[in-house]
Amino acid sequence: MTGESVVLVIDTATETVVTGVVRLSATGEATTLAERTVHDHRRHAEILTTLIGEVLAEASLVGADLDAVVAGTGPGPFTGLRVGLATAAAYGDALGLPVHGVCSLDAIASVAGEQSALVVTDARRREVYWARYAGGERVAGPDVAAPAVVAETLDDAPVDTVVGPPRFTEQIAAGRAEEVGVVHPSARALAAAASPELGTTPGPLEPLYLRRPDAVELKDQRRKSLLPVNP
């Protein structure tokens, strides 16, 4: 990035819908101009467009004032994540703006600074999405597993901090690492994570689903029913 940029930020990788407008300096310093967070995973599609309008109005901006769109690519559940990425892509296409995707866990990891950290978010089905960081860089993941399996990471590669929803960090850290309760990425952290790529041509906006969606078409269900069952 060679100059100041103003970006619209969207993330629906967690149960919390995050939208914001962030100004990035030429050095990558991020300043939040407006932000909305709504914790309701069942209403991502209903509220996202309204929240975008609210943050633009609060920042006294219109779409033409933006330089780019930044979208959290997950990992996250299929339906919610798809809503955010589709909205970001449509908004960028309508305004002729580049759309940059960033791993949502990378943004959450920023709270740990340069410490070695394990970041987790709720993947449902009694599992978590996770990634491990050292010196501010991702060194393992993202992946999905049960919390007990992820906890074994602390034995193989000890970390200073476990970051994520408290119901998971307590179980995973188990007194062996500091716990930091964070349930969703901030607009500022998402924008900062994307700052090195701003001003360049973005790659494809690829979601990190990590597993198949919960819902499948009826024809897929029928196909599964015809598969042999291993004894």
State mean pLDDT over 183-189: 97
Flag whether pLDDT at 128 surpasses 80.
yes
Flag whether pLDDT at 220 surpasses 50.
no
Q: Is residue 205 a contact partner of residue 89, using CB atoms and an 8 Å limit?
A: yes
Confidence grade of residue 224 (pLDDT, cut at 50, 70, 90): very low
CATH topology of domain 105-181: Nucleotidyltransferase; domain 5 (3.30.420)
Intrachain domains 5-104+184-214 and 105-181 with the same fold: yes
Superfamily for the 5-104+184-214 domain: ATPase, nucleotide binding domain (3.30.420.40)
Say what the pLDDT of residue 13 is.
96
Flag whether pLDDT at 227 surpasses 50.
no
Q: Where are the domains of the chain?
A: 5-104+184-214, 105-181
> Cis (ω within 30 of 0) for the bond into 75?
yes
63-113 per-position pLDDT tens digit: 999 999 999 999 999 989 999 999 999 999 999 999 999 999 999 999 999
Flag whether pLDDT at 4 surpasses 80.
yes
144-170 per-position pLDDT tens digit: 999 999 998 888 888 999 999 999 999
Mean pLDDT of the chain: 90
8-24 per-position pLDDT tens digit: 999 999 999 999 999 99
Q: Torsion angle of alpha carbons 86, 89, 95, 100, nearest 10°?
A: 140
109-119 per-position pLDDT tens digit: 999 999 999 99
Name the percent of the chain lying above pLDDT 70: 90
125: number of Cβ within 10 Å: 11
State mean pLDDT over 203-207: 94
> Cis (ω within 30 of 0) for the bond into 142?
yes
Confidence grade of residue 45 (pLDDT, cut at 50, 70, 90): confident
Flag whether pLDDT at 206 surpasses 90.
yes
As a whole number of angstroms, the distance between CA 90 and CA 196 comes to 23
Confidence grade of residue 214 (pLDDT, cut at 50, 70, 90): low
pTM above 0.85, yes or no: yes
SS3 labels along the chain: CCCCEEEEEEECCCCEEEEEEEEECCCCCEEEEEEEEEECHHHHHHHHHHHHHHHHHHCCCCHHHCCEEEEECCCCCHHHHHHHHHHHHHHHHHHCCCEEEECHHHHHHHHHCCCCEEEEEEEECCEEEEEEEECCEEEEEEEEECHHHHHCHHHHCCCCEEEECHHHHHHHHCCCCEEEECCCCCHHHHHHHHHHHCCCCCCCCCCCCCCCCCCCCHHHHHHHHHCCCCC
Say what the pLDDT of residue 212 is.
63
Terminal CA-to-CA distance of the chain, rounded, Å? 58
State mean pLDDT over 204-211: 93
Flag whether pLDDT at 221 surpasses 60.
no
Residue with tokens 């050292």: 134
